[in-house]
Structure 1
Amino acid sequence: MDNENKNPLTPEEESTPAQEAIEPAGPESPAAEIPAEETQTASEPDGTQGEAPAEETSTSSQDAADGEPPMQDEQEPSEALAPVPEADTEKPQKPKKPKKDSHKGKYRGISLAMTAGFLVVVILLNVVVSLLAERYPSMNLDLTEGHVNTLSDSAAEIASNVQNPTTIYIMASEDIAKSDTLLAEYGIKYSQVSALAEKMAERNSNISVEYIDLDQNPAFASEYQDDGLMTADVLVKTDKRYRVLAYTDLFDVQYSQTGMVAYSMVDSALASAVSSVNADTLPLAVFDTGHNEMMDTTLYKNLLTSNNFETQEINLLTDEIPENAQLFVLATPATDYTPDEIEKLEAFLNDESKASDRSLLVTFYPGQDALPNLTDFLKEWGLDVQQSTQVVETDPNSYITSDPSYLLANQSGDITLSRATSDYGYLLMPQSCPINLLFDERNGITTHTLATSSSSAFLYDGTEESISNPQTGEHTLAALAQKTITTGEGEATANVVALGSTFMFVDGIINSNTFGDGRYLTDLAKYVTGTEGETTAVETRQVQTSIADISMSLLQVMVFGLGIFTILIPLIVVVIGVVVYYRRRRL
């Protein structure tokens, strides 16, 4: 019969072993009626099919007789191995090996490129930041104690106002100047000079900085033979004039029992030099040296020079007062002046051919020898200095160092020395003579009180009675007399200043940040010469440099060093890397 000769394993119905494994037998499938242990689903290793038992064959014939499709008779091995035409059969497909994902290689290449690009960006960023730091020094953080590498407000203002080409020559090679090896044996941080000079140049294109190695360029020093340029000096120059700063003008080294301490004055020294070489004119302060002067004028001269004064010394007995002098200083003379010298002083103050203001400044000291000619001259100006008497305080709040003669003076409101400064803080006037004002106004001369003691002070004249029965009261410690002079060009002012204290000019007071003496004496000199407000005042500022450079606390160092750079930044990089990795795996 046709049904009996039909091959059940025709190409249209033949199934692969893989399909038989996947498709479950349905309820109508003959295989579903055969117990699992009697059904063989796998081929033998040699490629032949297993043989069903004889009982299974008879059961299939019986099913066919009952009208059900007969089961295929077991084929001979030769028939099982007979080749099936390629067109009519479908060979079982072997599991293919997974192809390599070309996208992974692509992503891997992109990852490498991005990593290389990131490194390039980091390197370029480092180079750019380094170049910017060199071009703009203010980008560098100043963590030094006292901020010695930062321009003060006055120095920054002076640098910003420069209108003439100004060159700051540093007498050292650039590498040496910036490495702190220069003058290191004194505990000096010389790199401050380079740092502040370059920050001035940054603020104003008219300012430039050059480094001169005198060993390599000795011809430069030969141009300034009279100034004796040495390594570590600084020369500031414009077309108008130049000024040389020795390293002692930049740094102050002090010795004590505990060792050597270095202080920096670089900020104020550079600022004053830049200001002075750019000024149109500089007032001249002249110091008399012919009367065994008891006061050391070195610090006062430095103070005036720092504030755009020129200084000069003469012997009043033999020399004439320079015509351009505006301030003449008698620094606590030990001997009296001759009538000829007094006439020179009178001519200087009353010169009608001079259009500028002019002034005489005299300092005194208790116990100073009598100076009758000078005393009579001052009395004509309404000032009577009691040289044999000393002002002593009884109120502990009005003196310092447990010495009642170290007076904390009160500033008088009669005269305003500077519109910019109304209060000078602690004005210290140690061992001061009292000054009596003989009149308020006479013959065109007016007198003014500049500074006084407290009302609890008394006068000590060396007697026991002055101590046992002190007469307390306010006493004048500094006074001013003024006179208007009519000149061919208008009016000028002649001033005579008497200061009862010499010790206010000594080291530790005139240059101290604690006391206002330095600022007070600077403004006083500018006021009596009529130059107040012409230039920015420069306060001599001393900052200790031999202490630890870094002012950050240990906690700040831990936060910045360990917290940010050691932990935070690497952690951020790791997190970004992990996120990028997993995002790429899902692509």
Structure 2
Amino acid sequence: MKAIYKKELQSYFHSFLGPLFIGAFLLLLGIYFAVYDLFMGYPYIGYALSSVTFLFLIAIPVLCMKILAEERHQKTDQLILTSPVSVTGIVLGKFLALATIFAIPVGLVSLYPVVMSFFGTVDIGKSYLAVFGFLLYGLTSIAVCVFISSLTESQVIAAVVSFGVLFFGYIVNGLCSMISSTGNLFTRFLSVFDMSERFSNLLNGSFHLTSVLYYLSVIVLALILTVQSIQKRRYQLSRKTLSLGTYSSSVVVLSLAVIVVLNLLVAQLPEKYTVFDVTSDQLYSLTTETKEIADGITDDIQIYVLANEDNADTTLDETLKKYEGLNSHIKVSYVDPAVNPKFYLQYTDGSVSSNSLIVESGKRSRVIDYSDIYEYSYDYTNYTQSVTGYDGEGQLTSALAYVTSNEMPKIYLLEGHGESSFDSTFSNAIEKENLDYETINLMDYDEVPEDASCVVINAPTSDFSADDTEKMLSYMEKGGDIFFVSCYTGEAHENIDRLLDYYGVNVKEGLIIETDRGHYYQDPFYILPEISYDDITSGIYNNGSYVFAPYAQGITTEEKEDVTIAELLSSSDNSYLRNDISGVDSYEKQDSDEDGPFQIGVKCEKSAGEETSTAIIYTSSNMFTNDANMIVSGTNVKLFTASLGTFASHETSVSIPVKSMEADYLTVPQGTIMIIALVTVVLLPVLFIVGGFIVWFRRRKK
């Protein structure tokens, strides 16, 4: 086998075909690499690799067409077949020679992610999984073309048939969608020949054992068929030939049966045994919190996906399969809206988009709209929208906890005093925390509803009436909890001050000016407060996270009987408070300014008989908004969720943050782009092509 391998490898480089193949591959890959990764700054080599797979349809059939067909045409195959080398050794030697030629450009391309890492953050695991998938796809194409070459003595026929087979494997996924949008027995049969979809499975950062096994199975089967195809020509028709034919057929049937059974068995295994997340931020992995919640589920849970299974969101589909693998009580079903367009009306009166989810148990159900599964950002400079986060796990785990919980805590959002409503990010966070909420005006009630787990007062711009104040004080004295966010108006709010004084808290009317550069963002009013450790802040404490609290008022506290106050956020020692900020033209400290530090967030607990009233108070009215949250990459919503979780009293608390999908683009200097592009697009391809031509030309003259 070694002699065959060396002979074939030398023949390809002596004939100029090998260097031409390598040069052409590097040229095309280099162009896409330069465009996607250098000029556009995408930190992922998979985009370039997936763009050149069509080259397999042309380049590999041309590379492989003579490997056995030419030997048969020239009658030199008889010399090889009579040599002291087994047919298996001959086939493996030729296949490995072709694999080596293909592996050379792939090996060079595997250096590209390393080059990219000098100019930004590159997900190495995801990138090299894409390279591995590209290598498997190419080797599978080579094995198929080697088999086809063994069937004929015409190189042209071998190349044309190989192109046809590879082309069919390339388009069969789209063909199945055209035949049936819902899928049927025939399309499932056709999908066996789908080679490109398996490569796509390896591009998103998940190692699919089923895809890897498929490629390896096709390679082994193609080589076995090649061996049997050659074996049948070794002997003339005779009684011995008939017995060999029977043996050959038996080998093929047995091999096919073993491969099919092995693939079917692996396909039936739970996703946790066959799919592995290799992304650096574990985008497709489930957290320990989700696994703990799933382990405790004893009710039957049905998750409906409003989509055709063949056209479903692949990322969401992988997540759902992982949930199924966690607990046998969790089942996933796809409902095609084209077939059953009114199915969702059993669960909601509103409209839902394709790929939305319905999670149902015997107790209740929840609809998760597809728009809530991803987070988006909008660039107003070019009017484009991009995906920045994936919240599939957060939404699903929250829904599982919701439909299996025995009781649902309820919070009330006050209105009637100019309170602000929460942006979508924060209203979604309330739902994810599985809190039932309702907006109320105290004028319509004699007292705060008895089922209130918490009353939320978000940035009131006008003072409470005396009647509303008494209702709130009565509620707090009975052990009622509040979540309060103050709003600077420049006016006194005596009744609101009475509510806060119940906990020994005083919110100053002025605004904090921060002079410590490490504690503000761009402007001294845009405060990045110091985070103190507490159960509420444990998820963001001392891990490099910032909270953004623009235009914050200062809190001072006094000792009160039966009141415990824990500091959550505070300004630095270099901060001060200015009471009159109208016409501020200088941040220099004035004589009338009050020295800091000041508290910006506190948690208060006051014993009220056998009950304890808890108040969480923050002093930045813009703190819990989408704009402020984006400045610190979602830390504000984490603090918000943890704060509300204090009042939830869940059997199981859910606080799984959105997983970032926002790529940190590479920053490559223009001059460096030109140098790298020159090497990858020009120098490397020309080196192989010119070098191969020189070797071929010299040998031709001899």
TM superposition score normalised by structure 2: 0.54
Per-residue deviation at 1:168?
1.2
The one-letter amino acid of 1:344's match is K
Change (3 A) 1:322 1:197: farther
1:366 equivalent in alignment to 2:488:
yes
2:527 pairs, out of 390, 399, 407, with 407
Q: Contact 2:348 / 2:367 at 8 angstroms: preserved in 1?
A: no
Q: Which has the higher helix share?
A: 2
Q: What are the ranges of 5 or more consecutive residues in structure 1 without an aligned counterpart?
A: 1-98, 178-189, 352-356, 549-587
Per-residue deviation at 1:276?
1.6
Per-residue deviation at 1:419?
7.5
Q: Contact 1:365 / 1:431 at 8 angstroms: preserved in 2?
A: no
Per-residue deviation at 1:202?
1.3
Indicate the residue corresponding to 2:257 in structure 1.
120
Change (3 A) 1:440 1:203: same
**Quick one: distance in 2 between partners of 1:337 and 1:347?**
14
Per the alignment, in what secondary structure is the counterpart of residue 441 of structure 1? coil
1:484-495 matched pairs, under 5 angstroms: 484-486=607-609, 491-495=610-614
1:537 equivalent in alignment to 2:654:
yes
1:324 equivalent in alignment to 2:451:
yes
1:445 equivalent in alignment to 2:559:
no
Indicate the residue corresponding to 2:90 in structure 1.
none
Q: Contact 2:375 / 2:390 at 8 angstroms: preserved in 1?
A: yes
CA-to-aligned-CA distance 1:532-569 (integer Å, 9 cap, x gap)? 7x424323314337999xxxxxxxxxxxxxxxxxxxxx
Per-residue deviation at 1:436?
1.1
Indicate the residue corresponding to 1:260 in structure 2.
385
Change (3 A) 1:362 1:238: same
Q: Share of identical aligned residues, percent?
A: 22
Indicate the residue corresponding to 1:226 in structure 2.
349
1:382 pairs, out of 504, 522, 525, with 504
Corresponding pairs, count: 420
Indicate the residue corresponding to 1:458 in structure 2.
576
Change (3 A) 1:473 1:175: same
Per-residue deviation at 1:328?
0.6
1:113-262 matched pairs, under 5 angstroms: 113-132=250-269, 135-136=270-271, 139-142=274-277, 147-177=282-312, 190-218=313-341, 220-256=343-379, 257-258=381-382, 259-262=384-387
Per the alignment, in what secondary structure is the counterpart of residue 304 of structure 2? strand
Indicate the residue corresponding to 1:348 in structure 2.
475
Per-residue deviation at 1:476?
0.8
Per-residue deviation at 1:345?
0.7
1:543-582 matched pairs, under 5 angstroms: 543-544=660-661
Per-residue deviation at 1:390?
1.4
**Quick one: distance in 2 between partners of 1:465 and 1:253?**
38
Structure exhibiting the larger radius of gyration computed from Cα positions:
1
Q: Contact 1:169 / 1:211 at 8 angstroms: preserved in 2?
A: yes
Indicate the residue corresponding to 2:536 in structure 1.
417
Q: Contact 1:513 / 1:542 at 8 angstroms: preserved in 2?
A: no
**Quick one: distance in 2 between partners of 1:506 and 1:479?**
19
Per-residue deviation at 1:446?
3.5
Per the alignment, in what secondary structure is the counterpart of residue 405 of structure 1? strand
1:396 pairs, out of 512, 517, 531, with 517
**Quick one: distance in 2 between partners of 1:367 and 1:282?**
36
1:301 equivalent in alignment to 2:427:
yes
**Quick one: distance in 2 between partners of 1:104 and 1:170?**
57
Indicate the residue corresponding to 2:412 in structure 1.
286
CA-to-aligned-CA distance 1:151-187 (integer Å, 9 cap, x gap)? 233333322332221111222232232xxxxxxxxxx
Per the alignment, in what secondary structure is the counterpart of residue 159 of structure 1? helix
Indicate the residue corresponding to 2:626 in structure 1.
507
Q: CA RMSD in A?
A: 3.2
Q: Contact 1:155 / 1:538 at 8 angstroms: preserved in 2?
A: no
**Quick one: distance in 2 between partners of 1:418 and 1:530?**
16
Q: What are the ranges of 5 or more consecutive residues in structure 2 without an aligned counterpart?
A: 1-235, 666-702
1:480 equivalent in alignment to 2:480:
no
Per-residue deviation at 1:294?
3.4
**Quick one: distance in 2 between partners of 1:503 and 1:321?**
26
Q: Contact 2:488 / 2:553 at 8 angstroms: preserved in 1?
A: yes
Indicate the residue corresponding to 1:92 in structure 2.
none
CA-to-aligned-CA distance 1:335-389 (integer Å, 9 cap, x gap)? 21111111111122123xxxxx6311221233454322212332233111113x1
Indicate the residue corresponding to 1:430 in structure 2.
550
CA-to-aligned-CA distance 1:440-486 (integer Å, 9 cap, x gap)? 223x3343322211212122332678724466532111123322233
Per-residue deviation at 1:297?
4.7
The one-letter amino acid of 1:453's match is S
TM superposition score normalised by structure 1: 0.64
**Quick one: distance in 1 between partners of 2:292 and 2:490?**
43
The one-letter amino acid of 1:321's match is V
CA-to-aligned-CA distance 1:15-60 (integer Å, 9 cap, x gap)? xxxxxxxxxxxxxxxxxxxxxxxxxxxxxxxxxxxxxxxxxxxxxx
The one-letter amino acid of 2:368's match is L
Per the alignment, in what secondary structure is the counterpart of residue 569 of structure 2? strand
Per the alignment, in what secondary structure is the counterpart of residue 292 of structure 2? helix
**Quick one: distance in 1 between partners of 2:485 and 2:555?**
11
**Quick one: distance in 1 between partners of 2:283 and 2:566?**
40
Change (3 A) 1:418 1:499: closer
Per-residue deviation at 1:254?
2.5
CA-to-aligned-CA distance 1:120-170 (integer Å, 9 cap, x gap)? 3223333333344xx536513446685543323333332233222111122
**Quick one: distance in 2 between partners of 1:271 and 1:240?**
16
Per the alignment, in what secondary structure is the counterpart of residue 265 of structure 2? helix
Change (3 A) 1:530 1:212: closer
Give the structure, 1 or 2, with the largest relative contact order (CA under 8 Å, sep 6 or more). 2
**Quick one: distance in 1 between partners of 2:339 and 2:491?**
56
